[in-house]
Amino acid sequence: MTNVRAQQGLSLIEIMVALAIGAVLMLGLVQVFGASRTAYQMSEGMARVQENARFAMDFLQRDIRMAGHYGCVNDQAHLQTPGALETHFGAAPFQPLDFTVSIQGYEAENTGPGDEAQIGGGAAPAGIPAEILALNPYPNSDILVLRYLSGSGAPVVGIAAAGAAEVLRLANGRWESLTTGGVNNPVLFGVADCSYVDIFQGASAGGAGEVEVTVTGPSEGLTNLIGRYTPHPSGQTMLYRAESIVYYVSENGQGVPALFRARFDGAAYVAEELVEGIESLQLIFGLDRNNDLAAGPPTGYIDRLSVADPAWGAIDWRGTGLVQVGLLARSPNRAAAEQAPQRRVLGLTFTPPAVDDGMYRAGYETTIALRNRLYGN
* C-alpha to C-alpha distance for 110 and 116, rounded to whole angstroms: 7
Rg over CA atoms, the chain? 29
Residues contacting 141, CB < 8 A, separation 6+: 108, 111, 124, 248, 249, 279, 280, 281, 282
The span from the CA of 330 to the CA of 53, in Å, is 9
* Region label for 77, one of left (φ > 0), alpha (ψ between -120 and 50) or beta (otherwise): alpha
Give yes or no for a contact between 342 and 118, defined as CB atoms under 8 angstroms apart. no
Rounded-to-integer distance, Cα 29 and Cα 69, Å: 62
C-alpha distances (whole Å) from 72 to each of 75, 77, 150, 152 are 10, 10, 12, 11
Measured from the Cβ of residue 8, the count of other Cβ atoms closer than 10 Å reads 6
Q: Write down the pLDDT at residue 208.
A: 44
Task: Identify which of 108, 109, 116, 110 has the alpha carbon closest to the alpha carbon of residue 348.
Answer: 116
Binning the chain into helix, strand and coil, the percentages to the nearest 5 are 20, 35, 45
3-state secondary structure of 146: strand
Q: What is the pLDDT of residue 216?
A: 63
**According to the model, what pLDDT value does residue 339 have?**
61
pLDDT of residue 219: 46
| Torsion angles phi and psi, residue 291, rounded to 5 | -95, 10
Q: How far apart are CA 278 and CA 307, in angstroms?
A: 20
pTM score, two decimals?
0.86
With vertex at residue 105, the alpha carbon angle to CA 352 and CA 146, rounded to the nearest 5 degrees, is 120
Pairing state between β 348-351 and 116-118: parallel
- pLDDT, the chain, mean: 83
| pLDDT value for 38 | 66
What is the reported pLDDT for 241?
Answer: 92
Rounded distance, CA 139 to CA 144, Å?
Answer: 14
- Residues 137-164: pLDDT tens digits? 988 899 999 999 998 888 888 888 777 6
- Distance of alpha carbon 295 from alpha carbon 308, whole angstroms: 22
Residues 6+ apart with CB under 8 A from 7: none
Element holding 201 (H helix, E strand) = strand 197-205
Which parts of the chain sit beneath pLDDT 70? 1-9, 33-41, 90-95, 164, 205-212, 216-223, 231-235, 336-341, 375-377
Q: Say what the pLDDT of residue 290 is.
A: 87
Question: Given this model, what pLDDT does residue 171 score?
Answer: 77
Which pLDDT belongs to residue 60? Answer: 96
pLDDT in tens, 323-353: 999 999 998 887 765 666 678 899 999 988 8
What pLDDT score was predicted for residue 20? 84
